[in-house]
Structure 1
Amino acid sequence: MSLRDTLKQREEQREAAQSGGEFPEGVTRYVRMGKHGEVNAEGRTFVILADPDDWFAYYVHEQSTFNGQRTIYHFRKHTCLHSPKGIRADQSAFKKPNPDACPSCLVGAPRKLYAMIPVYDLEYKTYRVIDTKEFHINNLIADYDKAEKMGRKFNPDYTLVGEAVHIKQVDKSFSLESGDASPEQLEEAKKFIGIDYGYEELANFREEADIVKLLHEADEEAKIDRAKLPPVSESNNEKPNEEINDDDLPF
């Protein structure tokens, strides 16, 4: 199998993991958040599948501005290669950028903390993830802790994991409160607690060469040190298969 065929196969596998096979067209493994998304001002009910300590935290390079009408991204948002690839990682080891591990860290691209929350979707009867940034995660955890604290007044062992919650957009963030689900739905959701959610695939860790190419395509307002930007590798120049030889490979 040629290098291009291998890369194409890997991309198809990532897309399959991200979209899943259980959803209709336009719906993916990721829950769309915001005014025009699935979680809007009216909200949506899910079953929480993990405690916040078991949500997948990782880093994303992104820079955007709002011009009054739409959000403009100065380069394509992408996962920082210096990120955990599983839950309960030592976050202190990833808190600072690592220029030796990630090209975007090398050029100083803005870096933000994100997290994925595994939830059971009552409509599609399978697990999905709410993937959002630190500000929203903080608000959701605060509401999560309030709800759990209230439940523990009556049952010291109470946990929100496996319970229905209603998540909705409030002002410029999101809130979480108790939701309604039937006993049958809660029982079905339990099957998805503690499974492998495939976070590494969902986070879409790109090849270094792909990231370098994205950085070269950044607009003039991107806050990156272009003097440190590595050149685009040959593999990104879409050379025909017959032109690739051993000298082209980086190892």
Structure 2
Amino acid sequence: MSIRDILKKREEERDKAANGDSEFPEGVTRYVRVGSHGEINKEGRTLVILAPYEEWYVYFVHENKEYTGKGYDHKFRKHTCLHSPRSTVGVDELQKYFQPGKDECISCKAGAKRKMFFMIPVYDPKYKTYRVIDIAEFHANSLMDDFDKAEKPVKKIQPEYTLVGQAVHFKQADKTYSLESGDLPDDVLEEAKAFIGIDYKYEELANFRDEEDIVKILHEAKEGVKKAVLPPLTESNNEKDNGTIDDDDLPF
């Protein structure tokens, strides 16, 4: 693949995103499903990683759930924290979001439990486009450790080596997820280069809601929320279809 082919592929990707064209068959989304019934299960998937972990997208989610033995009891409907970066940011900037933002997010003001999540951009050779692995902080930390284990020994011999743009096998392991060097044909790795450094549209993928949608979610909470600080529900709150986003559409 020549540099002109790569640039053409990048332009086609931008055009598809702008036109809202779906690149996936029914039942498949931009998010790589993880878990025993997902795409990254105990057998795993081999994908091409598109960014070092310093450039993975970090954001926050409000979620409060309790395992009952048969499943999870959700205290309120999970949703993205409005006090989150809208794109990848440096470490210094990211630290501004570590504490709840009571002025920026009504869920933070109401004391709703808050968790950190990561989106990892990957190239999926099956669908010939980029996707994201969306996982909680604990799992991301495990993958970062494995990233270093796979990359650092090679860098000692080849200082310019990077795992970015290489085949990586992701799988479930010991109640978390792991990655190790994988194997894909050279032409697949060439295809993946067109997707390194593009706009992954993280803000759109994070599903930020309007504040009035969130207010309704918080009013409907079973517990875990200080409802006294919430503004009253308005007629538009009650008429609105809660952002038209179903829980099944969310990756986290």
TM-score bracket, shorter-length normalisation: 0.7 to 0.9
Identity, % of aligned pairs?
Answer: 61
Which residue matches 1:37? 38
2:182 counterpart of 1:185: no
Q: Give the TM-score, by structure 1 length.
A: 0.85
Which residue matches 1:212? 215
Q: Give the TM-score, by structure 2 length.
A: 0.85
- Aligned 1:170-249 pairs, distance under 5 A: 170-219=173-222, 222-238=223-239
Contact 1:47/1:164 (8 A) holds in 2: yes
- The Cα shift of 1:20 comes to 6.2
Deviates more, 1:222-231 or 1:99-108: 222-231
Stretches of structure 1 that go unaligned for 5 or more consecutive residues are: 1-15, 240-251
Tell me the distance in 1 between the aligned counterparts of 2:132 and 2:196.
13
- The Cα shift of 1:237 comes to 2.4
Which residue matches 1:109? 112
The residue type equivalent to 2:163 in the other structure is L
SS of 1:92's equivalent?
Answer: helix
Tell me the distance in 2 between the aligned counterparts of 1:160 and 1:20.
30
Contact 1:20/1:28 (8 A) holds in 2: no
Tell me the distance in 1 between the aligned counterparts of 2:221 and 2:65.
11
- The Cα shift of 1:218 comes to 1.2
- The Cα shift of 1:212 comes to 0.5
Deviates more, 1:189-198 or 1:70-79: 70-79
- The Cα shift of 1:231 comes to 1.3
Q: List per-residue Cα deviations over 1:32-86 (Å, max 9, x = no partner).
A: 0001100000000110000111100011100111111112221111110000011
Contact 1:76/1:214 (8 A) holds in 2: yes
The residue type equivalent to 1:47 in the other structure is V
Cα separation, partners in 2 of 1:154 and 1:138, compared to 1, 3 Å:
same
Which residue matches 1:137? 140
